[in-house]
Chain A
Amino acid sequence: MTGFIFALTLRQLVFRRSTLLLLLLATIPVLVGIVFKIGESNEDPERFTVRVLCVWLAVTTVLPLTALLFGTSVIGDELEDGTVIYLLTKPVERWRILVPKVCAAWLMTTLLVVSSIAVSSLVVLGGDAGKVILGFGLAAAVGALAYISVFVMLSIVTSRALIAGLVFVFIWEGAVSGIFEGVRFLSIRHYTLGIADWLTKVRSDVLDAYVSGATAVVLSLVVIVIAVVYANRRLQTVEIREAT
């Protein structure tokens, strides 16, 4: 039963216009990598790949934006246009609706972000890109699940989930965690970087994450569990008003 909802959600995401925009966004690290490769830069290719392509572009920009658009749409859009009625008026427990939707959004986000990381790293590092792709790929997959869980929850809690998500990504994780270091323990971006640092084992002058790998994994799991459990609770009491 959950498989049908998973397949339905994947089709919803594929047919969204914004998916094309996200696909273009995911190509930006690749294009930047090509420019780096063509140009004669003196910068260390590994340092450039990690700091610019993976950290700044993939983890800081492509990952949260992709997760935001997919995460807030899988249930939020259905609540807004009323199609969720066709799922909610069935003898199906609400978590069986929620979980496949989270999984579908996670899969799409992970596919886009990991592809972006893999292709852009290969462009710059060639055969030496293995550990960067593996480390950042796995970290991005964990980060994507954490972001998606939070954004799906936001879309059930508020009709302004997109704005709330943008505030979280750019104000909280971007500005506030840049000023107050302690806030990084409440930042999915920093969990992702912590896991990537742990798995890639690159030099500390290339990547030195604030949150350690093990802590990042634990905190990511805590965020995922809290967000999904709370989203499920809210979905059980979500009210659908008549068409206006």
Chain B
Amino acid sequence: MASEARAVELKNVSRWYGNVVAVNDISFDLGAGITGLLGPNGAGKSTLLHMLAGLLKPSNGDALINGEAAWKNPDIYKVTGFVPESEAVYPFLTGFEFVRLSARLQGLANPDAAALKALEEVELMDAKDRAVGGYSKGMKQRIKIAAAIVHEPAILLLDEPFNGADPRQRLRMMEMLQRMAADGATIVFSSHILEEVERLAENVLVIVSGRLAASGDFHEIRRLMTDRPHTIRLRSSDDRRLAAALIGQESVFGVEIEGEGLTVQSSDLVSFAHVAPSVARGAGVSVFELSPTDESLESVFSYLVQR
């Protein structure tokens, strides 16, 4: 018996622009629930979403929606909604007209009612009669989401949907997506912000330099990120003495003195942060500066790729 097609599926998908590889041989399949595409800017998340939305042709492999090719297949939009990252909207349309246009193009029986319902979902009823050209960035994000969900799609693809939204709006949007997921929708969103993905996604795909660096449960990936080796830079009143004191600590596996200051390699950042002050105090050394040097998301992602 043939297995049932997954809502969203990529099979060995690559995409390149000339000599630049944007997405490199990525495969995954997703069902109902919320999946976060996490990765630094330029990692290939948007390219991936655009291929799933049928807006870019994979250079190699297949991007499938419900088992059907997304490319050159307008029928997928009956069950799919796409929210682009771009802020561009039709500036002369009111919020209501913008969402209703989407409802009409979806061929809905009652576009006005569907548009009002979607506007209510994103809490833009108060601004529905204002031209969207005058909306704030956060409001534009919400009106784009309203236009994408007006036909209550089973699959929703969102490219950096929380950009520009204030914390309250972000929370409400997350609640709305969680409601949709609870009702059985497949939601895929991209973000370069770890905390956004942590709060919303049960499943995470980490994309770095066009490759799938890690995938699975968020907590597992978070553990990998936390347990990685860390590099900490210190400046003190006596670097040599501090180095001698620190090397004996369990959480430290390397110390290097260079110029002014020292660099410590630690396997456990949290433990090191706890013991470092007392060790320094015990050695009679004053610490002037203590800073992790590799806490940027890029370095975390690079570590995942190298594993």
- A residues sitting closer than 8 Å to B (CB atoms) are 1, 4-5, 8, 11-12, 15, 81-83, 85-94, 236-237, 239-243
Q: Return the 4 tightest CB-CB contacts between A and B, nearest first.
A: A242-B46, A243-B86, A90-B105, A82-B86
- Chain A residues in 8 Å Cβ range of B104: 1, 4
Partner of B90, one of A12, A89, A240: A12
Contact flags (1/0) for B45-63 with A, using CB distance below 8 Å?
A: 0110110011111000000
16 A-B residue pairs with Cβ-Cβ distance under 8 Å, sorted by A, are A11-B93, A82-B86, A85-B84, A86-B90, A89-B54, A90-B105, A91-B74, A91-B75, A94-B74, A237-B57, A239-B56, A240-B55, A242-B47, A242-B49, A242-B84, A243-B85
Cα distance A88–B53 when bound, in Å? 10
Contact between A92 and B74 (Cβ–Cβ < 8 Å)? yes
Contact between B107 and A15 (Cβ–Cβ < 8 Å)? no
Contact flags (1/0) for B73-91 with A, using CB distance below 8 Å?
A: 0111110111011111110
Cα distance A237–B72 when bound, in Å? 7
Q: How far is the CB of A136 from chain B (nearest CB, A)?
A: 33
Assess A93 versus B74: contact at CB under 8 Å? Given A85-B55, A240-B56, A243-B46: yes
Interface SS of A by simple majority = loop
- Chain B residues in 8 Å Cβ range of A83: 88-90
Does B9 sit at the interface, judged by CB under 8 A?
no
- Chain A residue at minimal CB-CB distance from B81: A89
- Chain B residue at minimal CB-CB distance from A94: B74
Given contacts A82-B86, A92-B74, 17 further A-B contacts (CB under 8 A): A1-B107, A8-B101, A15-B92, A85-B82, A87-B105, A89-B54, A91-B74, A91-B106, A93-B74, A236-B72, A239-B55, A240-B50, A240-B56, A241-B50, A242-B47, A242-B85, A243-B46
- B residues sitting closer than 8 Å to A (CB atoms) are 46-47, 49-50, 53-57, 72, 74-78, 80-82, 84-90, 92-93, 101-102, 104-107, 147, 159
Cα distance A240–B89 when bound, in Å? 15
Cα distance A225–B90 when bound, in Å? 30
Assess A92 versus B105: contact at CB under 8 Å? Given A15-B92, A83-B89, A83-B90: yes
Cα distance A242–B49 when bound, in Å? 9
- Chain A residue at minimal CB-CB distance from B148: A89
- Chain B residues in 8 Å Cβ range of A236: 72
Cα distance A8–B76 when bound, in Å? 24
Cα distance A112–B74 when bound, in Å? 35
- Chain A residue at minimal CB-CB distance from B51: A239
Q: How far is the CB of B60 from chain A (nearest CB, A)?
A: 15
Q: How far is the CB of A13 from chain B (nearest CB, A)?
A: 11
- Chain A residues in 8 Å Cβ range of B82: 85, 89
Assess A91 versus B159: contact at CB under 8 Å? Given A85-B82, A242-B85: no
Contact between B50 and A242 (Cβ–Cβ < 8 Å)? yes
- Chain B residues in 8 Å Cβ range of A88: 55
- Chain B residues in 8 Å Cβ range of A1: 104-105, 107
Of the candidates A90, A239, A243, the one having the most CB atoms from chain B within 10 angstroms of its own CB is A90
- Chain A residues in 8 Å Cβ range of B77: 89-91
Contact between B105 and A4 (Cβ–Cβ < 8 Å)? yes
Partner of A243, one of B84, B101, B147: B84
Contact between B56 and A91 (Cβ–Cβ < 8 Å)? no
Cα distance A92–B105 when bound, in Å? 7
Q: How far is the CB of A164 from chain B (nearest CB, A)?
A: 22
Cα distance A217–B210 when bound, in Å? 53
Cα distance A239–B59 when bound, in Å? 12
Cα distance A237–B92 when bound, in Å? 28
Contact between A242 and B102 (Cβ–Cβ < 8 Å)? no
Contact between A89 and B89 (Cβ–Cβ < 8 Å)? no
- Chain A residue at minimal CB-CB distance from B102: A86
Cα distance A89–B149 when bound, in Å? 12
Contact between B46 and A91 (Cβ–Cβ < 8 Å)? no
- Chain A residues in 8 Å Cβ range of B106: 90-91
